Amino acid sequence: MSRKIWLDGQLVDEADAKISVFDHGLLYGDGIFEGIRFYEGRVFKLTEHIERLFLSAKAILMTLPWTVEEVCGFVLETVKANGLRDGYIRLVVTRGAGDLGLNPYLCPTPSMFVIASAITLYPEEFYQNGLEVVTCGTRRPTPASVSPQVKSLNYLNNVMAKVEALNAGAKEGLMLNEQGFVAECTGDNVFVVKDGEVITPPVSDGSLDGITRQAIFELCEELGIGIREETMTRYDLYTADEAFLTGTAAEVIPMVKLDVREIGDGKPGIVTLKLVEAFRNLVRTTGTEIY
């Protein structure tokens, strides 16, 4: 069965999902995206994701010809068309077709496509035993350029940092900002646990205010676990009791080693495992129903 892709108002077969070679998303990375998960027939934090998409669009002066409610409907329509109950959604909006120049105002209409598919980012063994991470030389973009809060199609710095990590034999790479403070990993937010309290870098240090990141704040409040934002260096990770990463695709996953240094005792910690369990329960009991 051919996978169905929602493309500019139509569901088409995967082989027919094509965009113009003059599309500014392809030519210049001029566009935005969201990655969204769905579990047991429910889309997790769908409205929050689509609202963030519209904020990204506003930040780059892209006017979307749909409402938040309409885009939510397109997402649900795509998942239904593929008969899926668990998986991952990639929603992409490009500036649309224009010419070979940079001028975005020559692209009259944005283009959008929605992909729904199965996904497994990390094998289950890494959720049980934890990830080893290395620090990458490639830095996160400064807020003085394109804000890290914009989920733009230009992910080349993240891709190159990922290459560094993979070449070093690690599954994930830690990225610092231009001042040398911890920002985030190539696709995930970073948290540490120290003396029973959860700490994460503020978004002003170069991280994306992730949807899963926000969920951790909510879960910590429900569980009575202290949580706060604080500027961090690698020393704070090296000397933490526990550490974990969060992201839509990765969910909540323990980090047990950074730059060959064991974090804590080198095993997933009690607080981390409690949050992993709470998050898994959250995604399977809440969300927008698909069917």
- Give the pLDDT of residue 22: 97
In a domain, 153, yes or no: yes
1, pLDDT greater than 80? no
- Give the pLDDT of residue 141: 86
Domain identity same for 266 and 131 = yes
- Give the pLDDT of residue 203: 95
What whole-number percentage of the chain has pLDDT above 70? 100
Tokens 């560094």: give the residue. 164
Give the range of the structural domain holding residue 77, as residue numbers without chain letter.
Answer: 4-117
Closest CA relative to residue 266, chosen from 117, 123, 132, 105: 132
Report the pLDDT averaged over residues 275-284: 97
Domain identity same for 86 and 132 = no
In a domain, 291, yes or no: no
Q: Say if residues 251 and 279 touch (Cβ distance below 8 Å).
A: yes
Q: How many helices, marked H, and strands, marked E, lie in the chain?
A: 8, 16
144, pLDDT greater than 90? no
The CATH number of the domain holding residue 165 is 3.20.10.10
Among the ranges given (90-94, 116-120, 208-212), the one the predictor scored with the smallest mean pLDDT: 116-120
List beta partners, residue 282.
Answer: none
Domain identity same for 225 and 83 = no
Q: Say if residues 131 and 258 touch (Cβ distance below 8 Å).
A: no
Q: How far apart are CA 165 and CA 159, in angstroms?
A: 10
Q: Say if residues 141 and 107 touch (Cβ distance below 8 Å).
A: no
- Domains held by the chain: number: 2
In a domain, 290, yes or no: no
The set of catalytic residues is 151
Q: What is the mean pLDDT of the chain?
A: 96
Tokens 């027939």: give the residue. 41
Domain identity same for 258 and 150 = yes
In a domain, 280, yes or no: yes
In a domain, 104, yes or no: yes
The CATH number of the domain holding residue 98 is 3.30.470.10
β pairing state of 251-258 and 131-135? parallel
E strands, the chain, are 4-7, 10-13, 31-39, 42-43, 87-94, 111-117, 131-135, 172-176, 182-185, 189-194, 197-200, 227-229, 242-247, 251-258, 261-262, 288-289
- Residues 160-195: pLDDT tens digits? 999 999 999 999 999 999 999 999 999 999 999 999
- Residues 132-143: pLDDT tens digits? 999 999 999 887
Question: Which pTM was predicted?
Answer: 0.95
In a domain, 265, yes or no: yes
Tokens 């027919």: give the residue. 16
Q: Is 122 helix (H, G, I), strand (E, B) or coil?
A: coil
209, pLDDT greater than 90? yes
- Residues 20-63: pLDDT tens digits? 999 999 999 999 999 999 999 999 999 999 999 999 999 999 99
Domain identity same for 154 and 279 = yes
Domain identity same for 92 and 148 = no
Domain identity same for 243 and 157 = yes
Domain identity same for 163 and 78 = no
pLDDT band at 119 (very low <50, low <70, confident <90, very high): confident
Show which of 117, 141, 166 is a domain's final residue: 117
- Residues 153-162: pLDDT tens digits? 999 999 999 9
111, pLDDT greater than 90? yes
Domain identity same for 110 and 225 = no
- 118 or 236: which leads in pLDDT: 236
Domain identity same for 170 and 143 = yes
Domain identity same for 91 and 37 = yes
E strands, 25-171, are 31-39, 42-43, 87-94, 111-117, 131-135
Show which of 57, 89, 117 is a domain's final residue: 117
What whole-number percentage of the chain has pLDDT above 90? 94
Show which of 84, 117, 150 is a domain's final residue: 117
- Give the pLDDT of residue 122: 85
Q: Is 254 helix (H, G, I), strand (E, B) or coil?
A: strand
Q: Is 195 helix (H, G, I), strand (E, B) or coil?
A: coil
Domain identity same for 145 and 48 = no
pLDDT band at 146 (very low <50, low <70, confident <90, very high): confident
